[in-house]
Amino acid sequence: KQEVTQIPAALSVPEGENLVLNCSFTDSAIYNLQWFRQDPGKGLTSLLLIQSSQREQTSGRLNASLDKSSGRSTLYIAASQPGDSATYLCAVSLNLTTQGGSEKLVFGKGTKLTVNP
């Protein structure tokens, strides 16, 4: 059974700092990995999608890496801003052929980030 773990559960940093959020998964047979942002009381906003054949994706100040063989992904946020404060969720998309055809995303519990002005 695929399990996704995110460390740390919460993180508080001063504005301007670079930071790294970690995600690990137990089964490397994934199709892709997706990072989401969730603001309080809101839905999820997709940030970056890394396909299983890729090693990283970048969007603005965000960079996500994927090491499928070791079951790890990191989300790097450069020059953090108070507006980056949110919960960041990592999710893996299961591989159809090896996971019994189950089509779903398996989520970690998230990292709650607070960027202090």
Partner 1 sequence: GAGVSQSPSNKVTEKGKDVELRCDPISGHTALYWYRQSLGQGLEFLIYFQGNSAPDKSGLPSDRFSAERTGGSVSTLTIQRTQQEDSAVYLCASSFPPYMNTEAFFGQGTRLTVV
Question: Taking CB under 8 A as the rule, which mask of x and - marks residues 44-83 in contact with partner 1?
Answer: xxx--x-xx-------------------------------
Tell me the backbone φ, ψ of residue 70, rounded to 5 degrees. Answer: -95, -5
Residue 31 corresponds to which tokens in the numbers above? Answer: 């199709």
Using rule CB under 8 A, residue 29 touches partner 1? no
CA 93, CA 58: separation in Å to the nearest integer?
Answer: 19
CB of 34 or CB of 73, closer to partner 1? 34
CA 87, CA 110: separation in Å to the nearest integer?
Answer: 6
Choice from 21, 64, 66, 106 touching partner 1 (CB under 8 A): 106
CB of 14 or CB of 101, closer to partner 1? 101
Question: 97 by DSSP, 3-state: which?
Answer: coil
Choice from 21, 23, 25, 32 touching partner 1 (CB under 8 A): 32
Pairing type for strands 86-94 and 111-116 reads: antiparallel
Quick one: CA dihedral 23, 93, 78, 55, positive or negative?
Answer: positive
Choice from 105, 111, 113, 115 touching partner 1 (CB under 8 A): 105
Q: Where does this chain bind partner 1 (CB under 8 A)?
A: 31-32, 34, 36, 41-46, 49, 51-52, 89, 91, 93-94, 96, 101-110
